């Protein structure tokens, strides 16, 4: 099976990649218009490039910083932003899978305990029907610690928040309170 794997970041695919590669011919797909700021986007992109060099597999890169498109699509509905973000990335992955003759697609978003699995699955199933490419669903959240260990061992950049400006705010807002 030719599988297109959406990659959000290197730590999320470090362990799952090997398991997926045992059952499929995996090509990566880096498309993450949500990541903010620009330097964070570049760090995550570079970490995926390093992982790709180590594992020797093909990756399709979208190297454009997509913040404006991301913000335009989520609009003022920041509480609903995650579903919009999932949809942007999954739709792009499914379309690329269709256009490039892949048998199936999946996403590293499924490897995180912090992501909405059921929402991702619903969005991916809809994209699968629309594009005529199978969505390969597998729950590999049990590999989180192993992935983190691999990332540490290989000195891959490990981010501290999901990626968007809002998740960055939520991660750090309580840490640095203004003094009265």
Residue 163: what pLDDT? Answer: 87
Contact 48, 10 (CB under 8 A): yes
- Terminal Cα-to-Cα distance of the chain (whole angstroms): 60
Residue 180: what pLDDT? Answer: 44
Contact 1, 104 (CB under 8 A): yes
The Cα–Cα gap between 140 and 5 comes to 13
- CB count, 10 Å around CB of 102? 25
Global model pTM greater than 0.85: yes
List own/partner pairs for 75-78 with CB under 8 A and 24 or more apart.
78/166
| Structure confidence by residue, pLDDT tens digits, 84-137 | 999 999 999 999 999 999 999 999 999 988 899 999 999 999 999 999 999 999
Domains and CATH numbers, the chain: 2-172 (3.40.50.620)
């Amino acid at each position: 099976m030719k599988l297109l794997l959406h990659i959000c970041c290197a730590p999320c695919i470090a362990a799952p990649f090997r398991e997926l590669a045992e059952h499929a011919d995996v090509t990566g797909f880096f498309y993450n218009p949500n990541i903010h700021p620009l330097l964070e986007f570049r760090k995550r992109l570079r970490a995926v490039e390093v992982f790709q060099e180590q594992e020797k597999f093909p990756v399709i890169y979208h190297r454009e910083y997509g913040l404006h498109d991301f913000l335009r699509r989520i609009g003022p509905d920041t509480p609903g932003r995650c579903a919009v973000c999932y949809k942007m990335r999954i739709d792009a992955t499914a379309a690329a899978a269709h256009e490039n003759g892949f048998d199936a697609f999946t996403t590293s978003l499924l490897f995180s305990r912090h992501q909405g699995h059921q929402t991702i699955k619903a969005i991916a199933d809809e994209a699968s029907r629309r594009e005529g490419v199978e969505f390969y669903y597998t729950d590999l959240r049990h590999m989180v610690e192993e992935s983190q260990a691999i990332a540490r061992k290989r000195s891959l950049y490990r981010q501290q928040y999901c990626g968007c400006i809002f998740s960055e705010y939520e991660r750090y807002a309580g840490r640095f309170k203004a003094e009265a």
